[in-house]
Structure 1
């Protein structure tokens, strides 16, 4: 499928197949969650790990929802995967479509450039959080990693830039580590 087709699939799913939640409620709830994690862990590195873990668990479940709503088949290659993540996954759940950029020479890494990140709305990080390495929207990295793992792709996903840290855009880097063998759960032969 061409990139334009994935864009159309994502837009169609957003318009017709997604139960919408009030954006401000979602954003403030997420912000409260991050604040509570900062209070609980008192270490920004631990907060980043917890957000990634939470996102991973969300991504593991969201991929089935995306596939059911869109009818997309398994991606043929990592380029197609990037298109589906950016143009379908992000559109269906956040109504944004990040640009895909900075492919590595071996085509195993790419960046998602978020001109607009709804999680950042109404948010300003304190200087200490920036200095000590908080990645406020790190839940997105976990979501991507979890969803791709369910599609048999082990990945590493991390933020490179974030507007909340003074950068011009937010950039998430996605690296394919390996294709996982499909395993049948024990007892499901």
Structure 2
């Protein structure tokens, strides 16, 4: 994995600001972390898992930080929570917004395979709420090229972990996976997020004020 040390536009701008610089530094540091993991584990699947775990921890902390500072933000349902992540949290912490699309998918039957897109339900199983987040730009992948032999690496899997951790913090158990990735030749970045369980009936009660 090669993270190119090009100077980001935001750092060169006169009014780029501290937040822009911090994000750019994080992106570069993240590339180094992924490279180190690939060298240490020599197993893309293991790296994917470790990136998701790291993101899970970050996501839970982001949820606490964001919701403690945000005014008038409510996460009373899966739809509301995912909209807040896409329209508010992503711009705040990632510098880009995402476009959420909601639909339903089905949990795969025993031995089956889950659908890669929310709009393409798997056969059998129970119906589940699903959200697809579309990002034209993925800051984590701006200066990255995947080398040969890294086809199975999900370079930005940290974002999936962040979403899972943030949603778990407000009592929604979800599974997030990249369904499209510009690093893998797709025209855009899309993350499929499936709600598998509301962890308790009073999910995110502190954010459910009338």
1:165 aligned residue: 184
Aligned length: 164
Segments of 4+ moved more than 4 angstroms: none
For structure 1, which runs of at least 5 residues remain unmatched after alignment? Answer: 1-17, 184-189
Contact 2:44 2:150 in 1 (8 A): yes
Q: Aligned equivalents of 1:162 and 1:127: distance in 2?
A: 16
> Normalization by structure 1: what TM-score?
0.81
> Normalization by structure 2: what TM-score?
0.73
Larger Rg computed on CA atoms: 2
RMSD value, Cα: 1.9
Q: Which has the higher strand share?
A: 2
Q: Aligned equivalents of 2:32 and 2:156: distance in 1?
A: 13
Q: How does 1:70-109 map to 2 (within 5 A)?
A: 70-101=70-101, 103-104=103-104, 108-109=129-130
For structure 2, which runs of at least 5 residues remain unmatched after alignment? Answer: 1-16, 106-126, 204-210
Asked if 1:138 corresponds to 2:137, the answer is no
1:11 aligned residue: none
Asked if 1:52 corresponds to 2:55, the answer is no
Contact 1:74 1:151 in 2 (8 A): no
1:5 aligned residue: none
Asked if 1:150 corresponds to 2:202, the answer is no
Asked if 1:111 corresponds to 2:132, the answer is yes
Q: Which has the higher helix share?
A: 1
